[in-house]
Each structure stands twice: as C-alpha cells, then as structure tokens.
Amino acid sequence: MIMKRVAVTGLGAITPLGNSVPEFWSNILAGKSGAGPITKFDALKFKTQFACEVKDFDIEKYVDRKEARKYDLFTQYAIAATDEAVRDAGLDFAVMPQSERFEVGVIWASGNGGIGTFEEQLKEFYDGDGTPRFNPFFIPKMIVDIAAGALSIRYGLHGPNYATVSACASSNTAIISAFDTIRLGKATIMIAGGSEAAITQSSIGGFNASHALSKNNDDPRSASKPFDAQRDGFVAGEGAGALVLEEWDHAVARGATIYAEIVGGGMAADAYHLTGTPADGLGAALGMRKALADAGLQPSEIDYINAHATSTPQGDLSELNAIATVFKNIPVHVSATKSMTGHLLGAAGAIESIISILAIKNDVIPSTINTKTLDPQIPQGLNILLGSPVHTRVRYALNNTFGFGGHTASTIFKKAE
C-alpha cells in the first residue's frame, strides 16, 4: 500500500506566553517565562504557589456567553486554538460541501479533561445539603472526549472523531493518530492537538503529593530549569495547541501554505513504574527509534530534538540517556522549551510540535532558559542549547513526549519541499 504524504497547513495556540501563534513564537524566541503566582485560587496553603497560567483569555471572543457555559475551560481553550489553526490553514468549513466534510475529522487530547468542572461540582455538592443538584452539563463538560466532539459540531465535521489519553504524551499521540488516519486514506484533513486546564486545587495538591512540582515559590520565573543540577520538579502549565494536518496533494491543489511535512511517529512504553521513568530511558529510546524507522531516517539526519524535559530529577536524566543511546555521538541540537511554557501536560506535545515546526520553517532553534549548571550525571557529548536561539538550517525536528504510566510518543517533522 502506498502511504499518502501529510502536510501541516494550520497552527493555533493558547499558551502562558500568548494567545496566538505569532505572539507565542515571539516570546519563545525572546526566552520569556510564563510563570507567576497562581491567580485561579488561593494557593498560600499549597507547597507550590505558582504556575504558568494563560493570561487575558476571553472565550466570548469565540462563542457567546450562553454557549460558553456548556464548556469546561479545557474545551474553551480547544475552541480558541482550533479557530486560529483553521483560519491559518485558509479553510472555511461553512462553505465546504457536506460530502467533503465527511473526510475531515478531529482527534483531540487531554490528560485531565474537565478537572475544574469535576472539582467545582463536587465541592458544591458536599458543601450543600447533600441534595444532588448537579449541573446538567456536568458530565459532558467533564469527559475527556468532549473537546473533540465540540470541535466537530462547531465546524460540521463528519470524519473520524475521538480523544486520546496517554497523560503527558496525549497530544503527540493524537497527532500521530491523525497522521496515520490521513496517510492510510481514511481522511483528507484532520484537526489534531490537545488542551489542558488543570491549574486547580486538586491538581496542584495531587502533583505536590507525588513530589512532581517545583516548590521554588521565591522565584517562579526561574523554577523550570531542565537539566540543571538544582532542578526540583516541573512547573504546571495550561493552554492548547492545534494543528491542521492535510493530505499533501490536497493541500497543494488548493494552494495552501505548508509549514512542514509530518513524516514519522513512534509510540512505546517504559513498562516500568506508574509515575517514574527507568534510568536508561528504554521506552523513550524505543519510541524515538520507531519514529525514525517510520520516517525512513537515520539518527544523523535529525537536526533538532525538542526534549520532553520537564525539570524533574529522574525524568530529565532518563530522557537524555535515551537520546545518548539512540543518537550516540551525533551532536544533534537539544533544547527544553518547558523552561518557558511550563508543562502543559496533555497539551504539551501539540505546543511543542508547533515549536518544532516553526523551528523548521524559520531555521531557528529556541534555547533552554534558567539552566545554569548542567547536572554532572548527564551523558557526555550531548549538544544541549542554553542561552540564545541558534540560527541554523533545520530540515528534520523530533518532538518527544512522555507520560505517567510509561507512555512515550515521538513525532518527526520535515521541511516542506
């Protein structure tokens, strides 16, 4: 069977560094941090009192107030990011014949779904008289698949429609699944990405209990320091990233702008621990090797790796050991943009895919901020970028994501040619 080529023709983003792709990308290149004190609730009783929150978000720019009340914040972020991606791709589904919309689908990811809605509704129940007066939209606001459903309804899309959940690998998994759907001829266009709105009391409290979050309350902006000898955990983030993937010939025929081509995806498992990662990075290495094999590439052909690199002591070393295993002595550029965005959990893969794509499009690799002294346990020979962005030709970029449960997912993008 001849596999179809798949182009990336639209990008959209809601992030702690801006609510559009141009603003987000500009702040990434400027090395800005999105971290600050938590404003969504009183965090003074928590061990961690800061996060990378989305700023100045107004859902009524996209839907009216009545409609907005039907959606948890993670779905609102999904709508906003996807609206930008669809406009960016030059698509107008309102005028597209229904028969063509049969071939357009949505695969959308989230690690936590409507955790804010869940928390709010249970608090109202237990603080009340015990009478179950739940919001009729409680369940559809909460469930993880509802963002995918809401997007298909919004645009009238009848193609494949579902959610992927693999913790922090969720949106990379969605992108790989959408890529496979198109190249196997099961759709012409797919909207893929992920969203997360998990800066809530239960989420921050839960991650604190698992010793995953940084507790650097005195200096939130420098708290996310991947690979640093003094790193103490990740910084929670929120937002959404959306990609429009399109069958290559279809994109060319309609004169679409092509950002990049997606050429490979690999998924694997650590099969090791519920939350921890193995020291040798076995699952991560396997996922990267599968992505390379899928793309028909040698490790030496990759120019840039956007590392998962959450800033946890165990996780960073595990990934770098995996990269050293797969790429051996190849000095591929490696950077960790979570140092700026924080960790968007289930949306991380989509946001970092956008960064990888724009690195290819613009031939510039973002750097890692905040890292001052590299952990002496890091394998020798790795080309970890610190300081300023690097201007260099980027033909292929690989994006890593790993999640609780041992899920690993790696995607490879190629310069459009």
Place of tokens 């002591």: 313
Residue 58's Cβ-side half-sphere holds a number of Cα atoms within 13 Å equal to 4
pLDDT at 199: 98
* Catalytic residue, candidates 52, 333, 343, 407: 343
- pLDDT-based confidence at residue 129 (cuts at 50, 70, 90): confident
pLDDT at residue 285 tops 80: yes
Structure tokens at 200: 């809530």
Report the pLDDT averaged over residues 65-82.
Answer: 97
pLDDT at 363: 98
- pLDDT-based confidence at residue 275 (cuts at 50, 70, 90): confident
Q: Assess if CATH 3.40.47.10 describes domain 7-253.
A: yes
Pick the CATH number of 265-415 from 3.40.47.10, 3.40.50.150, 2.40.50.140, 3.10.129.10: 3.40.47.10
pLDDT tens, 307-349? 999 999 999 999 999 999 999 989 999 999 999 999 999 999 9
pLDDT tens, 199-211? 999 999 999 999 9
Report the pLDDT averaged over residues 130-145.
Answer: 90
Backbone angles phi, psi at 211, to 5 degrees: 60, 35
| Amino acid occupying residue 120 | E
- pLDDT-based confidence at residue 233 (cuts at 50, 70, 90): very high
**Fold match flag (7-253 vs 265-415):** yes
pLDDT at residue 250 tops 80: yes
Report the pLDDT averaged over residues 133-150.
Answer: 94
**Which is nearest to 34 in space by CA: 348, 340, 241?**
340
Contact call for residues 179 and 193 (beta carbons, < 8 A): no
* Catalytic residue, candidates 308, 333, 391, 407: 308
C-alpha–C-alpha distance, residues 160 and 77, integer Å: 21
pLDDT tens, 348-364? 999 999 999 999 999 99
Residues 139-143: contacts with CB within 8 Å, 24+ apart?
140/70, 141/70, 141/71, 141/72, 141/75, 141/114, 141/117, 142/72, 142/113, 142/114, 142/115, 142/117, 142/118, 143/113, 143/114
Q: Where are the domains of the chain?
A: 7-253, 265-415
* Known catalytic residue at 308: yes
Report the pLDDT averaged over residues 267-283.
Answer: 93
* Catalytic residue, candidates 52, 168, 333, 407: 168
- pLDDT-based confidence at residue 2 (cuts at 50, 70, 90): confident
* Known catalytic residue at 343: yes
* Known catalytic residue at 168: yes
pLDDT at residue 1 tops 80: no
Q: Decide: helix, strand or coil at residue 277.
A: coil
Report the pLDDT averaged over residues 162-184.
Answer: 98
pLDDT at 417: 86
Contact call for residues 4 and 263 (beta carbons, < 8 A): no
Backbone angles phi, psi at 98, to 5 degrees: -60, -35
Quote the mean pLDDT of the chain.
97
Burial class (CB in 10 A: 0-12, 13-18, 19+), 137: middle
